[in-house]
Structure formats: structure tokens, C-alpha cells
Structure 1
Amino acid sequence: MQAADQQILGRARDWLTEAELPVWLCTIAAAVGASPRPPGALLVCNGRGEQLGSLSGGCIEEDLLERLREDGLPGARAALIEYGVSAAQNERLGLPCGGRLQVLVQRLQVQSDLPWLEAALAAIGARRCLRRVVDISTGATRYGEEELHQALDFDGRELAQSFGPQMRLLLVGAGQLSQGLAELALAMDYDVLVTDPRPSMLEQWEGPSVPLLGGMPDDVVRDHASDRHSIVITLTHDPRIDDMALMEALTTPAWYVGALGSRRTTDRRLQRLRQLELSEEQLASLHAPVGLDIGSKTPLEIAVSIMAQLIQLRRQPGRR
């Protein structure tokens, strides 16, 4: 499954090259107060009224498309459109009370915009990051690859936005908890893989349709979840399986490594990993017990606590 940004940029490229129709890329540049979608959310639309993506999940899209079909940014390649400037507009458009959005609308051009669209799609496909910077006054875009995904930056003159691959979530263990966790993660746009060296567990998988990988856990981590956009979580309670995955994952640049288990189980696990010559710095990056402490007991409650912790960490400034 492709990440949402990848789908939207791919559709923009296809529309731009397939037909002589106007194509607009719309980005939430800034949000004040309550906002249905965060800054950086994308929508692409064309002169036929087709669209992909979301800015509000409500009537902003309808109003914006109507404006573009009627006016089409006359004389400009880029413009900022503000929503939520009054209580009456909030009520008419379905924005939360007090919410205000600034939307950057770009009229895409084959010669100037196709190169950065192609470069962004290539970077995402190769699990790398690319950052575009849009000059609001001219609509011109410059771009380049970057090591890490950065937060959107908008100063009123330029908008800088990073594009990168989906976060990949490797679940070690194909039990009931993995099934619920996979469901939640897929709904939140993660790329989910499940591995288990026990064929019987893979055969009994009743979760969503995701890649099921056999083989040794350390090999699977090394081959499929060892970059900065990867998350590895061990869930089997079997140290012969979990420790092998953790031993490998903690030596990689993986964004998050977590392990299921009580605090007593975690203490014993850390002792074993020290014997495998992992450093204290590497061990300090292990999230264990995995998930937020919300009193969860059932498999689905534990899955919710894990996803909540991932959301919390991904929203922290500077942690990308």
C-alpha cells in the first residue's frame, strides 16, 4: 500500500502528463486553533473536478474546487486562500469553532513542476526523503534530498515541506495482539509486516492481509526494517524469538524499537541483551514495556496503547 502523500503526488504527476487540463496542488500551510487536518495535508484536483486527498473532510474542498473552476488563479501560479476568518464562514464550511486554515494553491506546470514530482516519487519509492520549498509569490519550487524528515515550515513567503516513505511497522510474532495491532496500524497509514519463525503461527493468522514473513527474526529485521523509517516491536514472549529480533534492531537506525512484557520481564531481557554485547546507549533506546501505561489488559487495549505511544512520539517536535 502506498502512503497518502505518494498517492497524491503520483496522481498529480499522472494528470499533469496525461491531459491538457489545469492541475492544482493544495497544501495546508498553517492552521490556528482546531483543525480537522494538520499542516502539510495535501489535496490535488483538476479541471474536470476530480480530486484526491483531503484538507478538511468537509465543505472546504467543495468551496475550493468551485473557486478554482470559476477563477483558476488568474494571473498567478500560486495563491494563499484563508478559511475560518469569521464565525459565519466556520459554520457554513463545517470548520471547528475558532479554527482557521491557510491553504497554498499551486497551478502545476509540466516544465517546472514535473521534475520535482518525479524526484519526490523516486525518493519515496527508495525510502528516502525529499524537501520542496515553494516561493509563494512566484509558485516556483526548488527541491533536494535530505537525510531526515523535517517538520513543515511556513514563514508567509516560502513553504518548505518534506516527503518521505511510509513508516514501516514490523511485528515480531503472529499472535492475537499482532492481529489487532496490524488492523490499527493499517488504518493509520503504516506499512505493516509480520514475521514469525513458527510456521504454525503464520498458518493460523486471522488478521488483515499483510506480508507474512518466515525465517529467523534477526534476518527479517536486517532485510526489511533497518532504516530510519522503521519500527520493530516484539510480541511473542519467547526470548528465543524476541531477543534475536531486538539484538539486530537495536544496532540499526530504526526509529522505534519496542518489546512486550512486564517490568520484571524487561529487566531479565536487558540482562540477556547485555550478555550479547549491546551497549548501554543501544539498550536505552528500547521501549519496554512497550506502549503507554493506560491500564490496558486485553490484546486490543494493549494494541491501542502501543499505537497511542507511536502517535505521541511522532507528534513531538524534533523527533522525526
Structure 2
Amino acid sequence: MILPRFELHQPASVREAVELAARLAPDFDFVAGGTDLLQNYKNRLNPKPHVVSLARVGELREVTPRRVGALVTLAELEASELARKELAVVAQAASKVASPLIRQTATVGGNLLVETRCFYFNQSRPWRASKGFCMKAEGDSCLVVPQKERCYATFSGDLAPALIVLGARVRLVSAAGEREVELARFYEGDGIKRHVLRAGEMIASVEIPEPPPGLRAEYRKLRLRDAFDYPEMGLAVSFATRGGRVESLRIAATAVDTVPLVFDGLTSAVYGQPLSDELVEVLAERVMKAVTPVKNTALSPNYRRRMVGVFLRRMLRGAGAKA
């Protein structure tokens, strides 16, 4: 398929990029690796007349124990000795994205902002025209849950849950200045709105706080094949104990809703308790019931929901055995 016509802008600095964004908004898209955006453009999924490439903005490529630049590629993150030591769960999640070839180009910022996905959206324009356009692209109704109030396209990024359970924040930059937002609060709305980015704003980096002593974290991904596929469901858990009792526990899920789901309201109730098999079972059941996926991926909603419980039991029992 051929890309639509657009004007390409290639700033050499963050300042130049955000000044361009302020002038062009809302008629532009940022592009980094382009593994998601350009495929969507080929399918005529909401293309813009202007594209601002960040490929020449070298200041967004650093990796430190507490910061990851938005233009760091997933392959760089996966291979980084520092990331594997200090941010192991993030490197683990990066290693599960797509395929090795795609990870050479795909970026951290791009994965955090990956477009939500749906059977009725991720198709060619002729296919969508034959079925009737959905509200996410050229139509006015959701075709998964037929109504006109909300889009149910699914968020399918792998890095977000892994970073959320570490308490990460995103540093956002625009011509008006900078701000930081907790990643767990960055995502909101439905499959169209998705996040709290303002017009002309971009992710510059991810800021990760110092972890508590003994924190362990893991990310598991459910998918049809062991490479290339987006998650059908992904689960991240971080866990720390003191004196055999839960001191810290965070759980986040991807690919089961329009945004990553965070279960702090459920996990805070187990602080101070020993992580017994009974407690794990109760927590797994509660988290599973809080997940309500819809039928817009290959696997059934019920199976994806049940696998949340399966993954969580395995992860927490494994963490408890190592405590």
C-alpha cells in the first residue's frame, strides 16, 4: 500500500520540534520509528497533512537507571546491560514486543502511545467501507458495542504496565513548557481519546523512581504466537515484602480495555499480610472480576479475563516462594 501525501518536517532539537507542533496543531502527527503510524497511514486511518519526524532529535535517546528517553529503541532497551540490571521488567517487556526487526526501529515513546486496536479499525479503507465505518475513523458509531457514546478499541502496548508497576512518570514537553504525569494517570478516556496529552505536546522521557529494597517485578504476555503479535492480554506485577509480609504490590494489565488497567484499589488491601495461597486466590479472583474485555481481538473476552487470574496466581506464588 502507498502512503498518502503529507509534508514531512525534520527538526533537530526538542525545542524546534515543539515549536513546529505548536504551529501545526492539530493537523500533524509526531513520528519516531513509524512502525505503528505509517502502517495506519497506509490504511488511511486518520492521516494528517503534516508529519513531524523526531529521528534527528538526539537528546531523547539516553538511558540511565532513573530515566529512559522517548526515542530509545526497544532493541536498545532490551540489549542495555544497565536496563537489564536496573529496569529488568521494562527490558523484559521490550523483548516481547513484535519481532527483532521491528524492535530495531520501534521506540519507547511510540509504544507508550501506540494506537488502540480493533477488528473494525485495523483494516484497509475498502474493507472498512464495505462493513461501515466506525466512530474511530470516518464513522459515528462503535461496531463492537453498537452505540455512539464510546469507542472500545483496545490499548495494546507492552511497556506501559511494566513501567506503571514501577511507579514511572512521563515527562511531557510542549512550546508552553514541561510537566510530569504519573503514567498510571496518563491514560484515560476511551479508544479515541486514550491519554492526557495536550495539543502540540510530546513525551520526552520516562522517569522511574528509586525502587524500595527487594522489589521484584515481572511481565507476562498472552499472544497467539511467540513473536510479532500484539498482546491478547499482558500483566505486570511488582512486589516487595518485609518480615514475610506484603510491603508493596502493584498490578497493571494491558490489552483488556481502552487504557492500561491499574489495580491499586485492590492491592492496597493486602498490605501487611502474609502472601498465603488463600490471599493469592482471593486477590486473583477480585482482579479477574474487575477486567471486562470486549470481543475485538482474536481470543475470546472470557478467555482473556480468565488468563488474567492464571497469570496473576503464577506470578504471585512465584514471588512468594522467593520472598
Name the one with the larger helix percent. 1
TM-score (norm 2): 0.29
- Higher Rg of the two aligned structures: 1
Name the one with the larger strand percent. 1
Higher relative contact order (CA 8 A, sep 6+): 2
TM-score (norm 1): 0.29
